[in-house]
Amino acid sequence: MKLVEQTDDALAVGISNSKSAIDRFRSVIGRIPLPNIAGTVGTQLGMFGLHALHSVILARLLDPHGRGEYGTAVLFTQLLMYSGMLGTSFSIARRAGKSSDGLNALGNASLRVGVVTGLISFAVVCLLALFALPDSKAYLAPLCIANALLLPFEHARLALLAVDHGSGAFRRYNVNRLIAAIAFPILLGIAWGLGAVSVQTATWLSVLTTVIALGALLKTHNNVRLFQTADPPIRTLLHEGMPYATSYFAAQLLGRIDTLLVLWLLNFTDQGYYAVAIAASSLMQVVPNALSLFSFNLGASKKGKLSERKMFAAGGGVLVAQLVSAVGMAFLLIYCLPLIFGEKFVQATPFAIALLPGLAIDGLATVAEGYLRGCGRPLSTLMPRTLGAITLVIAAYFLFPTWNSLSIPIASSIAHSVSGFAILGMVILYQNNKLTSQQEPPSKK
C-alpha cells in the first residue's frame, strides 16, 4: 500500500513538472516574434527571387561585356548605398525601438538626414567617377554619375524604413522592400517589350525604381513630412550614427573590395561573369540578413545577454544550415546557372562556387554582427572586417599569378571566413564582459 502511495506521489510530481516545463516552453515561444521572423525571411526570399529575375533579364539582354559595363556604372553607387548613410539607419532604429512616442517627428528627422547623406554620397560618387575609374573604363563616368542620382531618394527611404524596423512595424517594412524589389524587373520587362533595353536604359530605370519605392513608403506614412517638426536634429542622428558608420563602412569595404579589384584587374567580360556569379550565390545571404534584423532588436531590447548555451546552440544551428546550403548550392549552380542566365555565362559558374564557403561563414557572422550592433557595440566588428579586407587584398595578390581571374572569388571566400570567425570571437568576448565599453546613443526622451 505504501509503495502504491509513493508511486502515486511520484506520478503526481512528474505530471506537475511536465506541466511546468510545458508552460515555460509556451512562455518562451510566446516571446519569439515568429510571424515577424517568418514574414521577414519570406520577404528576403521574395526579394532574392526578384533580384535574381532582374539579373537574369539583364544577362539575357546584355552580353558579358555589356553586363560588365552596367556593373561598372552602378559600382560606386552601390558602395555608398548603405555605408554612405553614415550609420544613421542604426541610430534611428535604436531610437524607434526605445519608445513608440514621437515616431512621426523621428520619421521627419529620418527623411531629412536621408536626403543630407544622399546628397553627400552623390558628391562622393561624382568624384570617384571622374578620378577613380581605370582609363579603359573612364567613358562610363557619366553613367556612374547618372546612377548616383538615386542616392538622396534611396537614403531617405532607407532612413524611414529604419523607423519601421526599430518600432517593429515589419508588415509595412516588408511590403515596401518588396515594392522596391519588384519595380525594377517590371520596368525592365516593359523596356524589353519595347526593345529599348541597354546599359543606359537600365541605369535610368534603377533611378526611377527608387523614386517609385520612396513614393509608396511615404504614402503609408501619412503624417511624415520633410519640412515638418523633426526630433532629434540631423546633427544628433549623425553623431549617434558615427560608431555604426565606422564599422559598417569596414563591412561594406570587405563586401565591395573584390568588385573594386575586378574593376581594376579584369576586363569587362570577366567583370560580367563575376557580376552574375554574385547574383547567383547571394541566396546564401538571404536568411542571415533577415535574422540579423531580429538579432539587432534582441541586442537593443536590453533584456540581458544570451546565455552561453543558447548562444552556441543558435550559432551552431545557423552555421550547420549555412554549410549544408553551400554544398547544395554548389551542385545546383553547376546545372542551373547556365540554364537560367544563358550559356554565354557558363564561365560564371566557377566564380560562384568559389564564393560559397566564405558566404556560408559570413552568414553566421552577419547574425552575430547584428546582435553586437543592437547591444551598442558596433565598433567591435571594425577590426574583424578590416582584417578581412586586408586578407582579401593579400590573398588576391599571391593567388593572381596562378589562378588569374578566379583568384578574386577565392580570396574573397578566404577573407570572409577570417572575418567571420573573428566576429564570432568578439561575441564571445562581449558575453564574458571582456569588450571595452563604447558610448551608447542617448535614450530617446
Mean pLDDT value across residues 324-347? 90
The answer to the question of residue 138 being in a domain is yes
pLDDT tops 90 at residue 205 = yes
Task: At 302, give phi and psi (nearest 5°).
Answer: 60, 35
- Cα 185 from Cα 50, distance rounded (Å): 7
The domain total for the chain is: 1
- Cβ neighbours, 10 Å, residue 38: 11
**pLDDT of 28:** 38
The answer to the question of residue 18 being in a domain is no
Query: Cα torsion for 206, 268, 341, 319, to the nearest 10°?
Result: -80
**Residue 191 vs residues 56, 57, 73, 136, 165: alpha-carbon distances, Å:** 14, 11, 19, 29, 33
The answer to the question of residue 5 being in a domain is no
The answer to the question of residue 12 being in a domain is no
Q: Is the Cβ–Cβ distance between 320 and 391 less than 8 Å?
A: no
- Cβ neighbours, 10 Å, residue 139: 11
Domain that holds residue 404: 35-431
By the 10 Å C-beta count (0-12 exposed, 13-18 middle, 19+ buried), 372 is classed as buried
The answer to the question of residue 21 being in a domain is no
Helix, strand and coil content of the chain, in percent to the nearest 5, comes to 85, 0, 15
**pLDDT of 306:** 64
**pLDDT of 36:** 58
The answer to the question of residue 20 being in a domain is no
The answer to the question of residue 326 being in a domain is yes
Q: Is the Cβ–Cβ distance between 170 and 40 less than 8 Å?
A: yes
Query: Model confidence over 287-311: pLDDT tens digits?
Result: 888 788 788 877 777 555 666 677 7
Query: Model confidence over 340-378: pLDDT tens digits?
Result: 888 899 999 999 999 999 999 998 888 888 888 788 777
The answer to the question of residue 248 being in a domain is yes
- Cα 303 from Cα 306, distance rounded (Å): 9
Range with top average pLDDT, 134-143, 228-237, 368-377:
134-143
Name the residue among 300, 294, 412 with its Cα closest to residue 361: 412
Residues in the chain: 445
Q: Write down the pTM of the prediction.
A: 0.75
By the 10 Å C-beta count (0-12 exposed, 13-18 middle, 19+ buried), 310 is classed as exposed
Mean pLDDT value across residues 127-132? 96
- Cα 204 from Cα 147, distance rounded (Å): 7
Residues with Cβ within 8 Å of 280's Cβ and at least 6 positions away in sequence, in order, are: 52, 55, 333, 337, 340, 341, 348, 352
Radius of gyration of the chain (CA): 24
431: pLDDT confidence band, cut at 50, 70 and 90? Answer: confident
Query: Model confidence over 5-46: pLDDT tens digits?
Result: 544 454 444 444 444 444 443 443 344 455 556 666 677 677
Name the residue among 133, 128, 413 with its Cα closest to residue 277: 413
406: pLDDT confidence band, cut at 50, 70 and 90? Answer: very high
